[in-house]
Structure 1
Amino acid sequence: MISSPIYIDAISSVSALGVHEKEVFQSYLRQKPLFCQQKIQGKEREFISPISEQGNELLNSISKESKAYTTLDRTALLAIFAARETLKKANWNHQNFGVNIGSSRGATQLFENYVQEYLATGKVSTQASPTTTLGNISSWVMQDLMANGPEISHSITCSSAMHSVLNAIAWIRSGLTDYFLAGGSEAPLTKFTIAQMKALKLYANFNLEETYPNKSLDFSKKKNTMILGEAAACMALANQKSENSLAEIIGFGYANEALKHSVSISRDAVCLQRSMTNALKMANLKKVDAVVMHAPGTVKGDSSELEALQKVYGKDNLPLLTSNKYLIGHTFGSSGMMSLEMAVLMLKNNRFLENPLYENSTEVKEIKSVMVNSVGFGGNAVSIIISK
């Protein structure tokens, strides 16, 4: 077990699933993928998962609160909204907490806009540098919430949000702070970002007629089906239990593996095997009730994670397996926190949220523990176990 208990006091998100907990939970129950065809930066239409209409309205209202907010990137605005909602739920009556919002790409949209401006005019706006750095996300959340603790920004590709939780645990266990706001924010729905995923041959072909265009956990698929989505999610962590506490982090693991290619992962995801094994050892568990997989919808990404799970648990002893990317696609740096929110909802409602593309062979009467996996470009993996 973790030597110093870490409690989850609140968690909130903004994505295609919605902006409020009940709405998000109902979206999971409906199992209806939230993808659309939409123009990106005035160009051709792309296959994406944008945040809900209400979420967009709320983001626009934040951007109008002050002149400074009108210059912020969408990634920062998403983070501010998720952080505000999380803090409301946590009901902390102080500002003595740290903030770490991870992001794979940072201020993507604004950076691309400024580059285009420079290419066209040879000049750069005075706001170009301060508003396009990765640190611009956590720093503005700190400013918005008037927090007094440490502020951290980082990019560890798709596992950025999960590493935010690891950082929060380290700060709390060190005794340097008792409270931490950890999260992830990503607004990758830009023409250049999607073009990069297409160049890697990871992106799904456009076909809205398919019931499940992102085939996360469909292990019979023959082609990659990744679709990008935008989202932000934050979690309030504390060193002591309160009446607001939703769950407890009882184990975590992290690992890396040697790369053969810049975006490669071994056939049986050695990094995930190590991170899951370490998390189970810390939690003093041989098996969890359910696993929220990273499963991006790519052939190799999904199959390698399944093989890693089979190596850790045994082919005939797997926990319940699920994922949420068949609904909202891959939200890059925020995806791990979105998965953690899914795990919290399962614990809170004692209901397994299944992925209809995968049929589990086991049944669990009560969801007591859930493992969340995240793995990113660069051969890094994080596994976190939470319990009631």
Structure 2
Amino acid sequence: MTNSALPAVVIRGWGSASALGLDFAAPGTTSPFVPAADAPNLPVAALPPAAEAAVEALRRSRPAYRALDRSVLLALLTARHAVAQAGWSIKTNSAAAPLSEAAAAYETAPLAVSVGSSRGATERLEAFHAEFLRTGAAAPAASPLTTLGNVASWVADDLGGAQAAISHSSTCSTALQALGNAVAWLRAGLAQRFVAGGTEAPLTAFTLAQMQAVGIYSPLPSTDFPCRPGAGGPSTFVLGEGAAVFALEAVPASALRPGDLVLESVGFGFEATGTKTGLTPDGQHFQQAMRQALHLAGLVPTDLDLAVLHSPGTRAGDAAERAALAAVFGVDLPACTSNKWLLGHTLGASGALSLTWALDLLQRRALPAPLPFASWLNEHPARQPARRVLVNAAGFGGNAACAVVRRVD
């Protein structure tokens, strides 16, 4: 059992943006992927028109926002949704929302922000560099608009301030690492509320070329669900954009109520390999992260009902995660799923979007949809709605993270 002396970390609200829009509407039978604007032969998971309109409306809402990188705008948009859903005070710089009685109680409660990104201001950095190559001069705004700290600091500014604003990168495990940092702060009493998550807007020509150079990009057309987690065979990695941010609150374990969504633990793993793009065949970093997450939450493998996998559709990555699951769970392997067949791989935001997927299933008491192609994930279907879900993320450099979330009955 979890140590009841520590406060519970409750997810009061969340916001997401992805190829499925600003929520996780039930997946349809049509692939949400589209040809890349800068490389029509490559499929990508881009925001749909309605979500794109929301981003552009936010960009135009304040003069300072017109120069922000797309990754920052996605973080602002999803953080606003998370805080609004939580019922907290929203004192944005573009408009002040009225306070409810519940929100007013939080006016003086310490708030901190941790929003990470694998690559940060990808769009702005590439644009500023192209301008430098053309003119030989850098724009005055180039440095402040492309620092990684730019992400969380703008979120904190937009929410009316915070006692701390932390931006970081741990490649594709970044978002879950941000949540792990938030859990540590909340349980240590350094903050009572935390806004945490991940954001990524990497659909640029140079970033797409980098992913192609690694040799993992999907050869399938955008209309044919080109990202295929667990399918085996050639790699089917597809780049996506998106963000997910969560409003977290520390409460006494005795104050939990039915329906509360609790972030029970976040575990971490690391493995040293001969290459920064490689990983061990048995996914040692996955194993470390999953075992630590279970240990910190006081759980055993049979306590898990569902695992939302990192599974990006790459041959080596999918196989390593599958081997790690077998090592940790053995015959007690829970049902497994992934959302990358709908969202692509959103790099530093992927763990947060996987967690949002898990929360949506928990809240609706729904079963994950089967993947519309042959995959080993379909061999372990969920037979009843999950009560507790494990979420994995991992990335270049040997980093991995694992979160465990449950719904209070």
CA distance in 2 between partners of 1:100 and 1:172 (Å): 12
2:325 corresponds to: 309
Query: Residue 96 of structure 2 corresponds to which residue in structure 1?
Result: none
Assess, with a 3 A threshold, how the Cα gap between structure 1 residues 143 and 209 changes in structure 2: closer, same or farther: closer
The farther-off stretch of 4-13 and 350-359 is 350-359
Which of 230, 233, 237 is residue 226 of structure 1 equivalent to?
Answer: 237
Distance 1:214 1:242, change over 3 A: same
1:114, 1:365 → 2: CA distance?
Answer: 51
Q: 1:198 to 1:46 in 2, by over 3 A?
A: same
- The correspondence of residues 329-348 of structure 1 with structure 2, limited to 5 A, is 329-348=344-363
Identity of aligned residues (%): 36
The verdict on how the C-alpha distance between 1:206 and 1:152 changes in structure 2, with shifts beyond 3 A counting, is same
Residue by residue over 1:238-292, the C-alpha shift from the partner in whole angstroms, topping out at 9 and shown as x without a partner, is 1115779741122331111111211111001011111111211222322200000
CA distance in 2, matches of 1:6, 1:361: 30
Deviations for 1:134-164, whole angstroms, at most 9, x for unmatched residues? 1111111111111322110101100110011
In the TM superposition, residue 386 of structure 1 has moved relative to its aligned partner by 0.6
Deviation at 1:33, TM superposition (A): 3.1
Equivalent residues of 1:111, 1:132 under 8 A apart:
yes
Residue 153 in 1 paired to residue 164 in 2? no
Cα distance, 1:365 vs. partner?
Answer: 2.6
Question: Does structure 2 retain, via aligned residues, the 8 Å contact 1:90–1:244?
Answer: no
Equivalence for 1:88:
84
Gaps of 5+ in 1: none
In the aligned structure 1, how far is the partner of 2:182 from the partner of 2:275? 31
Amino acid aligned to 1:26? A
Aligned residues: 377
Amino acid paired to 1:255? G
Query: Structure 1: which 4+ aligned runs deviate by more than 3 Å?
Result: 43-46, 241-246, 360-364
- Matched letter for residue 328 of structure 2: V
What is the CA distance between 1:47 and its match in structure 2?
1.6
Residue of structure 1 equivalent to 2:9: 6
**Which string of whole-angstrom CA distances, capped at 9 and with x for unpartnered residues, describes residues 177-214 of structure 1?**
1000001010000111111111110111252353x311
CA spacing shift, 1:134–1:146, aligned 2, 3 Å: same
Report the secondary structure of 1:26's partner residue. Answer: coil
**For each residue in 1:6-50, what CA deviation from the matched residue of structure 2 results, as whole angstroms up to 9, or x when unmatched?**
111111101111114xxx1323xx36431011322xx65532111
Measured at CA, do residues 97 and 245 of structure 1 come closer, stay the same or move farther in structure 2, by a change above 3 Å?
farther
Instruction: For 2:275 and 2:191, locate their aligned partners in 1 and report how far apart those are by CA, in whole Å.
Output: 39
* Structure-to-structure mapping, 1:63-212, within 5 angstroms: 63-92=59-88, 93=103, 94=106, 96-210=110-224, 212=225
Matched-pair contact (CA < 8 Å) for 2:220–2:236:
no
Matching residue's letter, 2:58: I
Partner of 1:56: 52
Contact 2:128 2:139 in 1 (8 A): yes
| Cα pair distance change 1:120/1:376, threshold 3 Å | same
Q: Which amino acid aligns with 1:13?
A: S
Q: 2:263 aligns with which of 236, 249, 252?
A: 249
Aligned counterparts, 1:314-329, within 5 A: 314=330, 316-329=331-344
Contact kept, 8 Å, 1:371 with 1:383, in 2: the verdict is: yes
Summarize the Cα distance change of 1:242–1:78 in structure 2 as closer, same or farther, 3 Å threshold: farther
2:43 alignment partner, SS class: strand
CA distance in 2, matches of 1:6, 1:367: 19
* Partners of 1:217 and 1:355 within 8 A in 2: no
Secondary structure (helix, strand or coil) at the match of 1:228 reads coil
Which residue identity is paired with 2:68?
Answer: L
Is the CA contact (8 Å cut-off) linking 1:165 and 1:182 kept in structure 2? yes
AA of the residue aligned to 2:26: Q
Residue of structure 1 equivalent to 2:246: 235
| Alignment CA distance shift 1:185-1:275 (3 Å) | same
Instruction: Return closer, same or farther for 1:242/1:140 CA change in 2, 3 Å cut-off.
Output: farther
- Using the TM superposition, name which of 95-104 and 179-188 deviates more: 95-104
Q: Check whether the contact 1:7–1:245 (CA below 8 A) recurs between aligned residues.
A: no
AA aligned to 1:146 is G
Contact persistence 1:323–1:355 (CA under 8 A): no
SS at match of 1:25: coil
Give me the whole-angstrom Cα distance separating, in 2, the residues matched to 1:16 and 1:362. Answer: 24
TM-score normalised by length of structure 1: 0.93
Picking from 392, 401, 409, the partner of 1:382 is: 401
Check if 1:278 corresponds to 2:284.
no
C-alpha spacing 1:244/1:234, structure 2 compared with 1 (3 Å)? farther
CA contact (8 A) 1:107 1:131 kept: yes
Amino acid at match of 2:118: S
What residue is the counterpart of 2:33 in the other structure?
35
